[in-house]
Structure 1
Amino acid sequence: MRIVSWNCNGGLRNKLHLLAAFQADVLIIQECEDPGIGPKTYHEWADQYLWTGLNKTRGLGIFAKNGLKILPLEWEDAGASLFLPVEVSGGMQIVGVWTQASASSRDSYIGQFWHYFQLNRGQFGAKTLICGDFNSNSRWDTPRRLWNHTRCVTELESLGYLSLYHQLTGESQGAETRPTFYLHRNLGKDYHIDYA
């Protein structure tokens, strides 16, 4: 199964051609608009999808292709609306992630994932993929905070969850050589903040 995750930075309906070459079976797309309100071509492309968002123009979508079906999983969210747990045909679970800034540093970025994970840790199984835009890196750890990036990675690893990127490259968390994000599209402000 080929799975692609991408923060499309809005306007997915105008960027569908960029995804065609990947021939993905499942797409996890952050910052996409709700296909239910988009033009007919976007809605038809989306076909089998689930979507959540704070408004109709920016949200998190999971799209199944090639005859696959996805079903929503009814997990606790405690108001964390940009996590999307689904079951894909065949029993695989995917948790789509898009963390964001918040008025409270406790609830920003990796803190959102930490709290979501603590609520649902019993739901995560051997066939669960956690994937998306975490907006986080161990370079930004606050050492005394319980839920910093490194603490999340350590806890996930203790349960058998490993970062695919770090497994494939052998690089350490915080020392990534391939960025996944350029702040303000500036090539000099590169960061690795997306994980599977």
Structure 2
Amino acid sequence: MRIITWNCNMAFRKKADFILTYNPDILIVPECENPDKLLFSINTPKPTDVLWFGKNNSKGLAIFSYSNFRLTLLENHNQDLQMIIPVAVTDGQFDFNLFAIWANNPTDRDGQYIEQVWKAVQYYSALLKDTKTILVGDFNSNTIWDKKHREGNHSNLVKLLEGRGIFSTYHIYHKQTQGTEVHPTLYMYRHRDKPYHIDYCFASKDLLNKVSSVEVGDFDKWIIHSDHVPVIITFDN
């Protein structure tokens, strides 16, 4: 199983062919237009299932399946946490819960970025039972930006998830420490000299031991398409 998260920086319909060469089973795309606007070319692979969320038809959060996996929004979805989407992923043999994330809610005065994920982990705590759980997407956050006076900062979120047996696949696979990552996922304003790691895939222990690779896209290849590069996580079946 391959999961890819890539903030496409809008106009996904013009960029899908590039990311789909990596053959995702599930693709998370922040800043994707509404599916009604996704007019792909005839040769572009078409998703087998799709969920989309957002108020701006040009810039929302999309979850695509390009496999037998079906995507079902969980009934307890908290719409106040606009871009933290709980999804049941099923194929009849391998089922798990996936939280697709674009931490971006300007209407929440209490915190529009990592605070959204912090709130979601509290709200969905019954679903985070250290079994077949993945949180993946654009967290818009890194330990280097921790606000010490805020409980819901990046470092505390990582600790909270680890306490539930959920760990960052990138940091485990590449033996990295939060805040000192050597593979950026965002180049602010598309500048090579403004690199940050803000896109993540966290997985519960029972899935973590199935991770066979975690790849981060290269600046030179992806910068013409987006200020983000993809994060590609492959799990053994």
- Which TM class, normalised by the smaller chain length? over 0.9
Deviation string 1:130-181 (CA, Å, 9 cap, x unpaired) is 0000000000111121111000000000000100010011111001011000
- Displacement after TM superposition at 1:35 (Å): 0.9
Query: Aligned pair in 2 of structure 1 residues 159, 182: CA closer, same or farther (>3 Å)?
Result: same
Q: Write the letter of the residue equivalent to 2:127.
A: Q
In structure 2, what is the Cα distance between the partners aligned to 1:46 and 1:21? 13
Which residue of structure 2 lines up, in the alignment, with residue 142 of structure 1?
Answer: 147
Q: Which runs of 5+ in 2 are unaligned?
A: 202-237
Q: How does 1:97-108 map to 2 (within 5 A)?
A: 97-100=101-104, 102=106, 106-108=110-112
Query: Which moves more between the two structures, 163-172 or 86-95?
Result: 86-95
Report matched runs for 1:43-62 at 5 Å. 45-62=46-63
Partner of 2:209: none
Q: Greater RCO between the two (CA within 8 Å, min separation 6)?
A: 2
Q: Residue type matched to 2:100 in 1?
A: G
* SS of equivalent to 1:36: helix
**1:166 corresponding residue in structure 2:** 171
Question: How many angstroms does 1:10 deviate by?
Answer: 0.4
| Corresponding letter in the other structure for 1:163 | S
1:88-138 deviation line (CA, Å, top 9, x unaligned): 123211110001263666222111111121111112241110000000000
What amino acid does structure 2 have at the position aligned with 1:193? I
Using the alignment, how far apart are the partners of 2:121 and 2:140 within structure 1? Answer: 16
Secondary structure of 1:132's counterpart equals strand
TM-score, length basis structure 2: 0.77
* Displacement of 1:41: 4.5
Structure 1 stretches of 4+ moved >6 Å: none
Match of 2:119 in 1: 115
Q: Which residue of 1 aligns with 2:217?
A: none
What amino acid is aligned across from residue 9 of structure 2 in structure 1? N
**SS where residue 46 of structure 2 aligns?**
helix
- Residue 152 of structure 1: SS of its match in structure 2? helix
Residues 17-28 of structure 1 mapped to structure 2, 5 A cutoff: 17-28=17-28
Give 1:45's aligned amino acid. K
Q: Is 1:51–1:84's contact at 8 Å kept on the other side of the alignment?
A: no
Check conservation: 2:96, 2:132, Cα contact below 8 A. Answer: yes
Alpha-carbon separation, structure 2, partners of 1:57 and 1:194: 21
More displaced 10-residue stretch of structure 1: 69-78 or 163-172: 69-78
Percent same amino acid at aligned positions? 35
Q: Which residue of 100, 104, 108 maps to 1:96?
A: 100
Distance 1:17 1:104 in 2: 35
Deviation at 1:21, TM superposition (A): 1.7
TM-score, with length taken from structure 1: 0.93
| Cα distance, 1:104–1:63 mapped onto 2, change above 3 Å | closer
Give the count of matched residue pairs.
196
SS at match of 2:184: coil
- Give the letter for the 1:185 counterpart: R
- Which moved further from structure 2: 39-48 or 126-135? 39-48
CA distance in 2, matches of 1:47, 1:36: 15
Give the secondary-structure state (helix, strand or coil) at the position aligned to 2:30.
Answer: strand
Tell me how far 1:36 sits from its aligned partner. 2.3
Give the counterpart of 1:189 among 166, 170, 194. 194
Where does residue 177 of structure 1 map in the other structure?
Answer: 182
Question: Where in structure 1 are there 5+ consecutive unaligned residues?
Answer: none
Other structure's SS at 1:27 match:
strand
**Correspondence for 1:71:** 72
